[in-house]
Amino acid sequence: MGTTLKVKPLKDWIDLGDKPLIISGPCSAESYDQLMRTGKELAKIDQVKIIRAGIWKPRTRPEIFEGVGETALEWLLELKKETSLKTCVEVATPEHIELALKYQVDVLWIGARTTVNPFSVQILADVLKGVDIPVMVKNPLHPDLKLWVGALERINNAGITKLAAIHRGFYTYDNKPFRNLPMWEIPIELKRLIPSLPIIVDPSHICGNRTLLASVAQRALDLSMDGLMFESHYNPDIALTDAEQQLTPKNLELLLSNLVVRKEYGNQDFENILEKLRHEIDLMDHELLSILSRREEKTKQIGVYKKTNNITVLQIDRLRKMIQERLDYGEKLGLDYAFILKLLQLVHKDSIRVQTDIMQENS
């Protein structure tokens, strides 16, 4: 999938030094006191640059708290004036954008339930034409990288270059132990496709609880992600939405102080040694591919032999024994069970493809 986006670096719209961007604030703005109290405590934490607050909440079922609406934007503006925090809110309709701009919100984000719908994203993009405001696009609910990129392209095509992605995890049938599976390979692939695009990770919606937040946040930083968004509340237990995953500002401060921010590149000595080690890896990968090529030759030979003798491509007993034997051997070598299983399944799938081609050749 080729894509070209024109994206400004984060430091063009927010003063960060070489630290990750930290965004925090309540899942929902619930009351004047709740927002002010939480916001003022957050403002005391050096690393926190932007306060988030849900003004209109996308709820699964009707007739429960759906956010305070415009009044909460007045509170947020007051908070912005009283602290050094910038503000950000979720927008899902043109009216939300209009009101967010009216109340001088600094950054907008598009929620996961909006990103899934190209019609909705395009409507927002059309309203954003000619507006100079940073926009962050959350991943769609389900693991569809193209849909995420498509939404980013729509917003970028509208002229928004202060653009970032938010990784909030993906909803799949079995998410345990997360609320939304992180599936790190997807944001990594997004970085590979669009290296200039900042990616903010939202551990709160990935975890759905407080216990996993620190490890997910550290993982994000170790994968060179550009920032973190955490939900916080002065008293999470009484929060009207997402109570289990919100942190008190004090606990957020503690979590942030325990994070290790590593550099992406080292000094010359480090790079020299790294290059030598990587060269060894390159040689091993070539060896691996040569072995796979020799394996494929053997597979073909077996395919021809089966065909001549009118034998099926698949013998389930052999497959079961082969996989079990390799899993046991892999375990002895200290390799990860799930990884070896996936690898063997992939290798076997390719053998089936090669032999099926042979069976179908006219001879």
Which stretches of the chain bind ligand PEP, using CB under 6 A?
Answer: 27, 54, 58, 111-113, 138, 168, 205
What residue number has its CB nearest to ligand PEP? 111
Partner whose binding site includes residue 253, from Mn ion, ligand PEP, none (CB under 5 to 8 Å by kind):
none
Partner whose binding site includes residue 111, from Mn ion, ligand PEP, none (CB under 5 to 8 Å by kind):
ligand PEP
Smaller CB distance to Mn ion: residue 226 or 242? 242
Q: How far is the CB of 111 from ligand PEP (least distance, A)?
A: 3
Q: How far is the CB of 71 from Mn ion (least distance, A)?
A: 19
Q: Could you say which of 21, 27, 164, 197 contacts Mn ion (CB under 5 A)? A: 27
Q: Can you tell me the distance from the alpha carbon of 244 to that of 94, in angstroms, rounded to the nearest whole number?
A: 31
**Segment lying near Mn ion (by CB under 5 A), choices 23-31, 100-108, 124-132, 318-326:** 23-31
b/e 3-17 (16+ beta carbons within 10 angstroms → b): eebebeebeebbebe
Smaller CB distance to Mn ion: residue 27 or 121? 27
Smaller CB distance to ligand PEP: residue 145 or 322? 145
Q: How far is the CB of 293 from Mn ion (least distance, A)?
A: 49
Q: How far is the CB of 283 from ligand PEP (least distance, A)?
A: 43
The strand pair at 135-138 and 107-110 is best described as parallel
- Give me the residues paired with residue 117 across strands: none
For residue 164, the SS3 value is strand
Tell me 139's DSSP state.
P
Smaller CB distance to Mn ion: residue 113 or 326? 113
Partner whose binding site includes residue 203, from Mn ion, ligand PEP, none (CB under 5 to 8 Å by kind):
none
81 to each of 78, 87, 106, 189, 316, how far by Cα in Å? 5, 10, 12, 39, 69
Q: How far is the CB of 26 from Mn ion (least distance, A)?
A: 8
Smaller CB distance to ligand PEP: residue 55 or 149? 55
DSSP 11-66: GGTS--TTSPEEEEE-SB---HHHHHHHHHHHHTSTTEEEEE-BSS---SSSSS--
- Give me the residues paired with residue 54 across strands: 28
> Per rule CB under 5 A, is residue 97 in the interface with Mn ion?
no
DSSP 206-254: HHSSSTTHHHHHHHHHHTT--EEEEEB-SSGGG-SS-GGG-B-HHHHHH
The values of phi and psi at residue 5, to 5°, are -115, 145
Q: Which of residues 205-264 bind Mn ion (CB under 5 A)?
A: 242
Q: How far is the CB of 37 from ligand PEP (least distance, A)?
A: 19
Q: How far is the CB of 138 from ligand PEP (least distance, A)?
A: 5
Q: Can you tell me the distance from the alpha carbon of 78 to that of 58, in angstroms, rounded to the nearest whole number?
A: 24
Return residues touching Mn ion (CB under 5 A). Answer: 27, 242
